Amino acid sequence: MAKIMIVDDMASMRKMVSFTLESVGHEVMQADDGDVALGIAQENTFDLVITDVNMPNMDGITLTKELRGIPSFKFTPILLLTTESAKDKKMSGKAAGATGWLVKPFDPDKLLATIKRVLG
């Protein structure tokens, strides 16, 4: 099973995502903003990173850019958690190197289906 990092400043979202992923057997690490996530990324590798876009300290797009600079994250799938209206966010996320996005509202089944797409 995969090792996944979820980055979101909202604890409930973080917990729901990890709960969903853990319930199918993935190993999940949580970070509550980009700064923290980057710290974790220095010492861990992941099969997938899921990150919120709007966060204090370091947002998800900056995080994506930073992660792509770390050799072990060069090809790691990074998914942005966004809302349907944030088209420009998706684009700047892609420009920063994001793999794709997960559209909120958060739906466990949708999450599982989407990560299947990047994890195979």
Partner 1 sequence: MSVDLEQFKEMFYEESSENLEAMESGLLELSEGGTDLDVVNTIFRSAHSIKGGSATFGFTSVAGFTHVMEGLLDEMREGKREAEAKIIDILLESVDVLRAMLGSHQEGVEPDDERANILKSQLVAIRDGGVSSSSGSESPAQAADSSTEVSDGTCQGWNIQFSPHEDLLQTGNDPALMIRELGALGTLSLEMDDSRLPSLDAMDPELAYLQWHMSLKAGEDGNVPNQDAIEEIFEWVEDECDLTLEAIEEKRKSPDRRADERRQNDRRQNDRRQGSRRDGESGAKKTTQAAASIRVGTERIDAMMDLVGELVITQSMLSQLGEDFDMSQMERLRDGLTQLERNSRELQESMMRMRMQPVSFAFNRFPRMVHDIGQKLGKQIRLEMQGEDTEMDKTVMEKLNDPLVHLVRNSMDHGLEPPEERTEAGKDPEGYVRLRAFHQGGSIVVEISDDGRGLSREKILDKAIEKGLVTEKDAELWPDEQVFHLLFEAGFSTAEKLSDLSGRGVGLDVVRRNIESLGGRVDVASKFGEGSSFSIRLPLTLAVLDGQLFRLAGQTFVLPLVSIIESLQIRKELIGGVGSNAEVYRLRDQYIPIIRPASILGCSDTYASLDGGLLVVVEWDNRHVGLLVDELLGQQQVVIKSLETNYQKVPAISGATILGDGKVSLIIDLAGLFELSGLMNDRAFRIAA
- Binding-site ranges for partner 1 (CB under 8 A): 9-13, 15-16, 19-20, 23-24, 54-56, 68, 74-78, 81, 83-85, 94, 97-101, 104-109, 112, 117-118, 120
Q: Is 80 strand, coil or helix?
A: strand
Q: In terms of CB distance, is 62 or 99 closer to partner 1?
A: 99
Shortest reach from residue 57's CB to partner 1, in Å = 11
Task: Dig out the tokens for 90 from the structure.
Answer: 């998706």
Instruction: Tell me if 35 sits within 8 A of 7, measured CB to CB.
Output: no
Shortest reach from residue 42's CB to partner 1, in Å = 19
Strand partners, 30: 6
CA distance 84 to 15: 22
Shortest reach from residue 119's CB to partner 1, in Å = 8
